Amino acid sequence: MSNEDQTKLMLCVAWDQDADQLRELLTAGIDVNLKDEEGMTALMWAVMSSSTEMTQMLLDFGADVNAGANDLRTALHIASYNGSLEVTALLLNAGADASVVDDQGMTPLMGAAKEGHIEIMAALIKADADVNAKDANGRTALTWASMSNSPATSRVLLDAGARSD
């Protein structure tokens, strides 16, 4: 991996958000799965900016949808926190693991529940996310939903079979 290539790719996606430049870099053969010092990929940065165009382009060029950063967060974790249903759908359609855990045991469903993103929760549940998974502290998505004081969020989980134990 070239440090120069890594810098070009990350700057293009994270800061410039220039889809034309990204297409040029990818067409020229830059490694779509380069990671920065935190283990973040260009796909993760595109998801962080909620760019459906750049997310789709990176996926089209073979971005690893399940790549984990140093803390094991994936693009789907980021999308579930950010609240972009369109980006979440792109990732799920590309084969993102709906039950993946980060280094704290958090799943994308827990993140969506914590933030109250009901539509994203529904998409994750439809993609077979484990509604009863527990994080490193024993909390479930239902626990996170109840801490956010959103009865509607809790109801989605209960309707999907979440247990309150």
The CATH number given to whatever domain includes residue 37 is 1.25.40.20
Indicate the residue among 97, 113, 137 that finishes a domain. Answer: 97
Lowest mean pLDDT among 3-7, 82-86, 130-134: 3-7
User: Whole-structure pTM over 0.75, yes or no?
Assistant: yes
Q: Tell me if 42 sits within 8 A of 34, measured CB to CB.
A: yes
DSSP secondary structure string for all residues of 120-154: HHHHHHHTT--TT---TTS--HHHHHHHTT-HHHH
- Domain of residue 75, residue span: 1-97
pLDDT recorded at residue 7: 76
pLDDT higher than threshold 70 for residue 2: no
* Same domain as 125, residue 73: no
pLDDT recorded at residue 6: 73
pLDDT band at 1 (very low <50, low <70, confident <90, very high): very low
* Same domain as 151, residue 135: yes
Q: What domain count does the chain have?
A: 2
Segment 92-124, tens digit of pLDDT: 999 999 999 999 999 999 999 999 999 999 999
pLDDT band at 32 (very low <50, low <70, confident <90, very high): very high
